[in-house]
Amino acid sequence: MSAIERGTLAGLFDLTGKVAIVTGGSRGLGVQIASALGEYGASLALVARKQGELDAAVEQLTAKGVTAVGFAADLGSPQTALALTQRVLDRFGRIDILVNNAGAAWGAPAEDHPLDGWNKVIDLNVTGLFLLTQAVAREAFLKQGKGAVINVASIEGLQGHHPDQLGTIAYNTAKGAVINMTRALAAEWGPKNIRVNALAPGYFPSKMTMVTLGEHGETMLRQTPLGKLGGDIDLMGPALLLASDAGGHITGQILVVDGGMTII
């Protein structure tokens, strides 16, 4: 019975029986998104490189009654995607939602940016993201006739980096690629009932943003209409919308979650 047939608005957000992969799911934005999907009924396959961090995230989520399993994997390697997809299918039998949150950044002036740093960022943030999305679509979504992809992009993919801050040209380039990959996949896979959307967060306190916020946090707050950084719940609602039937007519969209920073 569909959510509409059940006749409740809450039913549109219900993910009971669904399986979601969340990459970079052991901490930060990934575990925030995973928590939202899990609390609304999804079983979670959390993916990260470090088993210890995965174990801690699984423990945190299972304490809330969420079904979660950790899968240690290096998504920067092109051999990972298909094997990881099969491991998740072997464990859960299906995949309904893919959240591509894993990412890396590298700070350096553009004229001095090292090639190995560029390759690390592009290999994980763009190539690894595409290969996993491709594998999940081929092995699960297309066979099931339905699927939802949420790519975690960034406002850095929508604009240039402020010259007062250390340059992040590889990261900006990668997130810009993710944004247009989202649109291109949504157009191609829409007729196959696969929705592809992206979240573009502004600045949230995290390991990745620690240095930038330490040096520029006060200025950023003055430049943000809501006057605050992203918090522990601010991606939950947007992710749940895009993952669930509540967002069933939304595809190819970039939902900016930045407190208004990019509107001024």
**How far is Cα of residue 205 from the mean position of the Cα atoms in its chain?**
16
- Asked if residue 29 has pLDDT above 90, the reply is yes
Cα 252 to Cα 239: distance, rounded to the nearest angstrom? 14
| Per-residue pLDDT band at 5 (split at 50, 70, 90) | low
Query: Residue 131 has which token pair?
Result: 């290969």
- Asked if residue 1 has pLDDT above 70, the reply is no
> Angle at Cα 255 formed by Cα 145 and Cα 19, nearest 5°?
35
Question: In degrees to the nearest 10, what's the CA dihedral of 220, 225, 230, 232?
Answer: 140
| Per-residue pLDDT band at 8 (split at 50, 70, 90) | confident
- Asked if residue 14 has pLDDT above 50, the reply is yes
pLDDT digits (tens, 9 = 90+) for 183-197: 999 999 999 999 999
Instruction: Count other C-beta atoms under 10 Å from residue 192's C-beta.
Output: 12
Once rounded to an integer, what is the mean pLDDT over residues 41-65?
98
What 3-state DSSP class applies to 1? coil
Q: Write the CB contacts of 196 (distance below 8 Å, at least 6 apart in sequence).
A: 133, 148, 149, 151, 182, 185, 186, 189, 251, 252
- Asked if residue 45 has pLDDT above 60, the reply is yes
Once rounded to an integer, what is the mean pLDDT over residues 41-61?
98
- Asked if residue 6 has pLDDT above 60, the reply is no
Tell me which residues are annotated as active site: 171
Cα 82 to Cα 151: distance, rounded to the nearest angstrom? 18
Query: Residue 191 has which token pair?
Result: 């007729």
Structure-model confidence comparison of residues 205 and 49, the more confident one = 49
Query: What pLDDT, on a 0 to 100 scale, did the predictor assign at position 3?
Result: 45
Cα 190 to Cα 102: distance, rounded to the nearest angstrom? 24
Q: What percent of the chain has pLDDT over 90?
A: 86
| Per-residue pLDDT band at 205 (split at 50, 70, 90) | confident
Which candidate, 32, 49, 164, 34, places its Cα nearest to that of 104? 49
Once rounded to an integer, what is the mean pLDDT over residues 122-145?
98
Residue pair 42/33 in contact by the 8 Å Cβ criterion: no
* Domain 3-256, CATH class in plain words: alpha beta
Once rounded to an integer, what is the mean pLDDT over residues 25-29?
95
| Per-residue pLDDT band at 217 (split at 50, 70, 90) | confident
Cα 261 to Cα 264: distance, rounded to the nearest angstrom? 6
Flag whether the pTM goes above 0.85: yes
Computed over every residue of the chain, the mean pLDDT equals 94
pLDDT digits (tens, 9 = 90+) for 141-184: 999 999 999 999 999 999 998 888 889 999 999 999 999 999 99
> Angle at Cα 19 formed by Cα 256 and Cα 253, nearest 5°?
20
